[in-house]
Amino acid sequence: MSMFLVFIQKAISQGISILLGANGEIITEKSGNLNLGIPGIMYIGGVSGLVGAFFYENAVSSPVPLVGFIIALICSLLCASLAALLFSFLTITLRANQNVVGLALTTFGIGFGNFFGGSISKMAGGVGQVSVSVTASAFQKSIPGLSNIPVVGTLFFSYGFLTYLSIVLVFVTAFILNKTRLGLNLRAVGENPATADAAGINVGQYKYFATIIGGAIAGLGGLYFVMEYLGGTWINNGFGERGWLAIAVVIFALWDTRKACLGALLFGALSILYMYLPGLGRSTQELFKMLQYIVTIVILVVTSMRKNREDQPPESLGLAYFREDR
């Protein structure tokens, strides 16, 4: 029982980065922008929070956790938004191909993350790895009292702020997308921008808005990883393929953030399940890690076979919109 508890707890902590990334990508894709730069943006979001906290902790003699927390959060949101702004500028204003810009952004972002994450400590004249334990402690702080309740406490109340934020965001996003004018308009932009335009919706503005908000949320996924998961340090390429898994979860969830919640948990569980299954050798463990991608492929194929109108990607996903094209 306790092993199962730990498994679920670990699966959740594996899944949160993916969930934040998927949530951001869903908002972005609902506007018709396929942002393959999300993996890069997540690196940028993570490292900029880390660097912000690092400078703060180095500048004062006794850093306050809450201040570091706020600085890291702001830095992360700001830099991830800027990266998404760059994507938006190139794809919406300059109408460059989304796949191409996204992949360039991912190349850039991963390099950016690894460069600053790996050498910031050295560049600031220090030695060894970057470490922001004070700020990280604020991110890792679980809910006092409640987390001590046996079982329930471990299962539900043992996580940091970003974990709860990610769950809240899932429902807020779902509510906005499905129940508000903002959401209706945004979905229309992603389905059929010409129609949205004719209905008086400012297509470019919505795309910018969704892509930047989506980028900021995805960036938090990176921040979660460096702060809550790693405890305020950097491992080169440690973030791994979580960004791509986030994009996989979007497909898995059929563009619904609530299903993405389950998807992220499932992918999180799959990525550590091998440790809990007896009799797996090191090599078979690696095959096991393939499962998340295979599951995604199967879902992709099955939805394309069923052709259910409600399960399809936003109709204009990946296409630039130019009014006089009509």
Which positions from 189 through 248 interact with another protein, judged by CB under 8 A?
191-192, 194-202, 236, 241, 244, 247-248
Q: Which of residues 271-290 bind another protein (CB under 8 A)?
A: 281-284, 286-287, 289-290
Q: Which of residues 164-183 bind another protein (CB under 8 A)?
A: 179-182
CB of 326 to another protein, least distance (A): 7
What distance in Å separates the CA atoms of residue 312 and residue 314, rounded to the nearest whole number? 6
CB of 245 to another protein, least distance (A): 8
Count CB neighbours of 288 within 10 A.
17
CB of 170 to another protein, least distance (A): 18
Residue 247 DSSP SS3 = helix
Q: List, in sequence order, every residue forming a beta bridge with 131; answer none if it has no partner.
A: 233
What distance in Å separates the CA atoms of residue 64 and residue 230, rounded to the nearest whole number? 19
CB closer to another protein, 231 vs 318: 318
Question: 266 Cβ partners below 8 Å, 6+ apart?
Answer: 15, 252, 292, 295
The sign one gets for the Cα dihedral 16, 22, 27, 28 is: positive
Size of the site for another protein (CB under 8 A): 79
Q: Is 242 left (phi over 0), alpha (psi -120 to 50) or beta?
A: alpha
Site for another protein contains 101 (CB under 8 A): yes
Tell me if 265 sits within 8 A of 12, measured CB to CB.
yes
Q: Which of residues 55-94 bind another protein (CB under 8 A)?
A: 86, 90, 94
What distance in Å separates the CA atoms of residue 115 and residue 312, rounded to the nearest whole number? 38
Question: 54 Cβ partners below 8 Å, 6+ apart?
Answer: 120, 121, 124, 130, 132
CB closer to another protein, 73 vs 226: 226
Using CB under 8 A, which of 18, 79, 92, 188 touches another protein?
Answer: 188
CB of 6 to another protein, least distance (A): 24
Q: Which of residues 1-60 bind another protein (CB under 8 A)?
A: 34, 36
Using CB under 8 A, which of 6, 111, 126, 168 touches another protein?
Answer: 111
CB closer to another protein, 137 vs 312: 312
Q: Which range of residues in 128-136, 146-154, 211-219, 314-322 is near another protein by CB under 8 A?
A: 314-322
CB closer to another protein, 148 vs 236: 236
Token pair, residue 227, equals 């702060």
